């Protein structure tokens, strides 16, 4: 057993066949995104006893590998599943840090409540990522823009076919070395407008980070890729085509006066950790930030008049990505020759600087893992 700084014991069941240093070096030379995984996974189990009392137990770090599930496991039939995403960064002195993990732990529990899953105490969440990174610290890349992507997730594992909340659940964390999400040089991306599909609806799971939301977005994402776009924009077709979010990122508009506007949270938009961090960084720079309804018409007219000077998307995986063109079969807003905007890049550099340790962390956002 090892005692973590958060007071939770994790049993160490380390892999007998970890990747060799040579194999690991070959992977880290060109990791891509989500293509390779480290040697271990952190796991915590949950179950309800005969008295109806539920609890988390059997915290451990074990070899990465397939999960054994009964064919009737609830996650396979009713989609009781949630997940998170955060990164571990190697700083110049070799230490390893992560960014605002408490916010991810809180959002995981918000998602858990919506999906009728048990809430996970923060100390288990923080302990799991710390123990996994310490076991696999050699997997954390040191290249520019690179990090170890951490994927905590929770699945309903109980074997039954009745429609009710599962009484057996597994929380796990896996890790993947990550390069640039969109690959290559950072430049503005093209975004496809989804006219037919919605990501989420009122009263649904849009504010939760669950697999079903992403599954529902994939057909629109395929349509985007078929039309040469990197991402898809979802609108609220019952609310004046209000801008919601991309398939996996929040949207920001930089106005000509230097202020920022982002769609207000409405229950159908995911409350991104990067989104809230961008808002704080912009305010630290003296910029006004407004959360409000912004429609496709305003986007079109604002770009045409110059009222909207820059547009960018943000999320854990890509951090900040400038948007050049928004289009579909009838629309073409922006320019394919657009350069990344000055404000977009200034916020990106400040945020990345905090994450990687080159800019002072005045908000206490960083947590050391190894």
| Coil vs helix vs strand at 97 | strand
| Cα distances (Å, whole numbers) of residue 19 to 96, 129, 316, 317 | 20, 20, 27, 25
- Whether 95 and 207 share a structural domain: no
pLDDT at 179: 87
Is position 300 within any domain? yes
Is position 64 within any domain? yes
Last residue of a domain, one of 147, 180, 213: 180
Share of the chain above pLDDT 70, in %: 97
pLDDT exceeds 80 at position 4: no
pLDDT exceeds 80 at position 5: no
Cβ(96)–Cβ(32) below 8 Å: no
- Whether 174 and 242 share a structural domain: no
Is position 367 within any domain? no
How many Å from the N-terminal Cα to the C-terminal Cα in the chain?
A: 18
- Whether 331 and 197 share a structural domain: yes
- Whether 140 and 253 share a structural domain: no
Residues in the chain: 370
HEC readout, 115-181? CCCCCCCHHHHHHHHHHHHHHCHHHCCCCCCCEEEEEEEEEECCECCCCCCCCEEEEEEEEEEECCC
- Whether 193 and 284 share a structural domain: yes
How many CB atoms are closer than 10 A to CB 178? 23
Is position 259 within any domain? yes
Is position 361 within any domain? no
pLDDT exceeds 70 at position 3: no
118-165 pLDDT per residue, tens: 999 999 999 999 999 999 999 999 998 899 999 999 999 999 999 999
pLDDT exceeds 50 at position 221: yes
Give dist(CA 80, CA 116) in Å, integer. 8
pLDDT exceeds 50 at position 1: no
Assign residue 98 the CATH number of its domain. Answer: 3.30.470.10
- Whether 93 and 119 share a structural domain: yes
- Whether 148 and 198 share a structural domain: no
Last residue of a domain, one of 125, 154, 180: 180
Whole-prediction pTM value?
0.95
Give dist(CA 223, CA 227) in Å, integer. 6
| pLDDT band of 266, cuts 50, 70, 90 | confident
- Whether 215 and 286 share a structural domain: yes
List the beta bridge partners of residue 368: 97
pLDDT exceeds 90 at position 185: no
pLDDT exceeds 60 at position 295: yes
What domain count does the chain have? 2
pLDDT exceeds 70 at position 6: no
- Whether 217 and 347 share a structural domain: yes
Give dist(CA 334, CA 306) in Å, integer. 11
Last residue of a domain, one of 128, 145, 180: 180
| pLDDT band of 307, cuts 50, 70, 90 | very high
Which domain does 135 fall in, by range? 4-180
Is position 106 within any domain? yes
Cβ(326)–Cβ(299) below 8 Å: yes
């Amino acid at each position: 057993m090892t005692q973590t700084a958060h007071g939770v014991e994790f049993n160490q069941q380390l892999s007998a066949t970890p990747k060799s240093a040579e194999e690991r070096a070959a992977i880290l030379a060109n990791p891509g995104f989500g293509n390779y995984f480290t040697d271990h996974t952190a796991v915590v189990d949950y179950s309800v006893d005969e008295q109806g009392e539920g609890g988390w137990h059997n915290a451990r770090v074990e070899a990465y590998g397939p999960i054994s599930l009964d064919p009737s496991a609830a996650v396979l039939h009713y989609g009781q599943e949630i997940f998170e995403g955060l990164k571990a960064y190697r700083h110049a002195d070799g230490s390893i840090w992560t960014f605002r993990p408490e916010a991810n732990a809180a959002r995981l529990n918000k998602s858990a409540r919506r999906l009728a899953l048990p809430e996970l105490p923060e100390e288990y969440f923080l302990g799991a990522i710390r123990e996994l990174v310490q076991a696999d610290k050699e997997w954390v890349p040191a290249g520019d823009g690179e990090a170890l992507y951490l994927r905590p997730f929770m699945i309903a594992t109980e074997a039954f076919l009745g429609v009710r909340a599962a009484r057996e659940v597994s929380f796990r964390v896996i890790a993947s070395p990550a390069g640039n999400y969109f690959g290559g040089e950072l430049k503005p991306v093209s975004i496809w407008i989804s006219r037919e599909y919605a990501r989420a609806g009122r009263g649904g799971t849009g504010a939760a980070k669950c697999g079903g939301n992403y599954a529902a977005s994939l057909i629109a994402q395929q349509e985007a890729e078929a039309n040469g776009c990197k991402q898809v924009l979802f609108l609220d077709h019952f609310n004046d085509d209000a801008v919601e979010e991309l398939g996996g990122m929040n949207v920001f508009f930089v106005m000509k006066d230097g202020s920022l506007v982002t769609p207000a949270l409405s229950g159908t938009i995911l409350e991104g950790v990067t989104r809230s961090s961008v808002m704080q960084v912009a305010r630290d720079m003296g910029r006004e930030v407004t959360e409000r309804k912004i429609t496709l018409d305003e986007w079109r007219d604002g770009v045409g008049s110059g009222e909207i000077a820059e547009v960018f998307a943000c999320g854990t995986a890509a951090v900040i990505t400038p948007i050049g063109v928004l289009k579909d079969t009838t629309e073409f807003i922006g320019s394919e020759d657009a350069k990344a905007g000055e404000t977009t890049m200034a916020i990106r550099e400040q945020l990345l600087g905090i994450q990687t340790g080159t800019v002072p962390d005045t908000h206490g956002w960083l947590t050391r893992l190894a």
